[in-house]
């Protein structure tokens, strides 16, 4: 199977955009996810897996909110170029990341797992999600494209991208079933504030809508 994954080679000029954001912009989705996460913090330090960490935008938000004393952070990404650039700004993470394909191997176990703008690019989302859920002890937070139906879409228009990659949409029934099968309950669905809860055209002919979905693991 060809490796049609979103990476630093998918749209090469985007890496400059990501670096500008890490230097100058506090992203809205980061603030929204941190606000959700804060409801689940207590006096005990928690472990957190950032699955698809890119240049560590989530960690930047955690650090700015001074929550890194309460959160043991670990970032995962399959692209070493993102990691290398992120470490330029957060060298303290040099022992807190792993370059790994989460569709092939699960991350280290953690109490919380977060995926933002990651799952929709999986080639095999069933496998990738299963790996992440199996390593999550308490809380999962997923920011991705959801709708009434599941859509698998490989985008390969060379006018817009340098290499093909998947831009999938998942149905609410699909994600609820996957979460339930792994003993995750208390499922909540939030409008995505960064996109104002509206559909947007990613590329011509591809309209998607972000949602944030959280679920807590139910121990038998």
Confidence check: pLDDT of 218 > 90: no
Provide the pLDDT for residue 2.
73
Q: Between 166 and 2, whose confidence is greater? A: 166
Q: CATH homologous superfamily for 14-217?
A: Vaccinia Virus protein VP39 (3.40.50.150)
Say what the pLDDT of residue 3 is: 80
Q: How many Å is the maximal CA-CA distance in the chain?
A: 51
Mean pLDDT of 36-63: 95
For residue 176, what pLDDT is reported?
98
Distance CA 19, CA 8 (A): 12
The percentage of the chain sitting over the pLDDT mark of 70, rounded to a whole number, equals 99
The pLDDT of residue 146: 98
Give the C-alpha separation, 64 to 75, whole Å.
17
Mean pLDDT over residues 60-89, rounded? 97
Query: What mean pLDDT, rounded, does the chain reach?
Result: 96
Is the Cβ–Cβ distance between 75 and 99 less than 8 Å?
A: no
52-72 tens-digit pLDDT: 999 999 999 999 999 999 999
Q: Alpha-carbon Rg of the chain, whole angstroms?
A: 16
Q: Are 8 and 79 in contact (CB under 8 A)?
A: yes
Span 139-149, average pLDDT? 97
Distances (CA, A) of 105 to 2, 67, 80: 18, 28, 16
Q: Is the pLDDT of residue 219 over 80?
A: no
> Where residue 190 falls among pLDDT bands split at 50, 70, 90?
very high
pLDDT of residue 168: 97
Token pair for 188:
């909540």
pLDDT, position 220: 57
Neighbours of 89 (CB within 10 A): 15
- Distances in Å between the Cα of 115 and the Cα atoms of 36, 76, 80, 148, 220 are 13, 10, 18, 20, 25
Average pLDDT rounded to a whole number, residues 6-10: 94
pLDDT at residue 42, rounded to an integer = 86
Query: Tokens 């989705």 — which residue?
Result: 29
CB 217 within 8 A of CB 63: no
Tell me: pLDDT of 38 over 60.
yes
- Residue 78: predicted pLDDT: 96
Mean pLDDT computed over 158-182: 97
- What gap in Å lies between CA 113 and CA 58, rounded to an integer? 12
Domains in the chain: boundaries: 14-217
CB 168 within 8 A of CB 194: no
């Amino acid at each position: 199977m060809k490796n049609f994954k979103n990476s630093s080679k998918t749209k090469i000029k985007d890496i400059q955009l990501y670096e500008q954001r890490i230097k100058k912009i506090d992203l809205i989705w980061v603030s929204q996810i941190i606000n959700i996460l804060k409801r689940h913090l207590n006096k005990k330090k928690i472990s957190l897996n950032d699955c698809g960490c890119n240049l560590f935008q989530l960690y930047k938000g955690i650090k700015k909110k001074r929550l890194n004393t309460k959160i043991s952070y670990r970032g995962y990404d399959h692209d070493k170029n993102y990691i290398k650039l992120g470490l330029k700004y957060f060298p303290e993470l040099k022992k807190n990341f792993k370059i790994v394909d989460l569709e092939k191997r699960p991350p280290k176990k953690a109490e919380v797992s977060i995926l933002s703008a990651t799952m929709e690019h999986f080639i095999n989302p069933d496998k990738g999600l299963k790996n992440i859920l199996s390593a999550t002890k308490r809380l999962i937070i997923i920011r991705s494209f959801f709708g009434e139906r599941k859509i698998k879409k490989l985008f390969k228009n060379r006018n817009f991208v340098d290499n093909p990659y998947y831009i999938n949409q998942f149905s609410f029934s699909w994600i609820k079933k996957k979460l339930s099968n792994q003993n995750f309950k208390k499922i909540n669905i939030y409008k995505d504030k960064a996109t104002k809860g509206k559909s947007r055209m990613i590329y011509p002919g591809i309209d998607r809508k972000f949602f944030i979905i959280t679920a807590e693991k139910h121990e038998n």
